[in-house]
Amino acid sequence: MAPLQYVILRHEGIAEPHFDLMFETLPGSELATWQVDLWPIVSRTALTRLKDHRRVYLDYEGPLTRHRGSVRQMARGTCQVEIGEGAVWTIRFLNGTVGSLVIRQVEAEKWEAVPLVVRPCDG
């Protein structure tokens, strides 16, 4: 599976500051996007699925139009994305940001993320 790009943005200057998690699903695709209150995710955390975003956000930092605040990059790199049955996404960060996340749909736009802990094999 070819590495895909991701970016984590801090969205500020608005009533409810948050982080945007954005991932390619295929090379060159728009960015699947979730909103989350905290980053990095270290325990089961609620997410909100947003519409896919333009690829410009892979590189963009700065003010947003229509008084929507501004964004700055917290992390960027490559990842692997696996979308399984039942809207379960597994995101493996390839540059050491947080390891891996499992993101699953709970209902409608409500999702949750759980960090995936990989334990070394006894050997």
What range does the domain containing 62 cover? 4-116
Number of domains comprising the chain: 1
- Residue at 90 is within a domain: yes
- Residue at 101 is within a domain: yes
What value does the CA radius of gyration of the chain take, rounded to a whole number of Å? 14
- Residue at 121 is within a domain: no
- Residue at 81 is within a domain: yes
- Residue at 29 is within a domain: yes
Give the pLDDT confidence of 45-101 residue by residue, as tens digits: 999 999 999 999 999 999 999 999 999 999 999 999 999 998 899 999 987 656 899
Of all helices (H) and strands (E), which one includes residue 19?
strand 18-24
CA distance between the termini of the chain: 28
Contact 77, 6 (CB under 8 A): yes
pLDDT band at 123 (very low <50, low <70, confident <90, very high): very low
- Residue at 96 is within a domain: yes
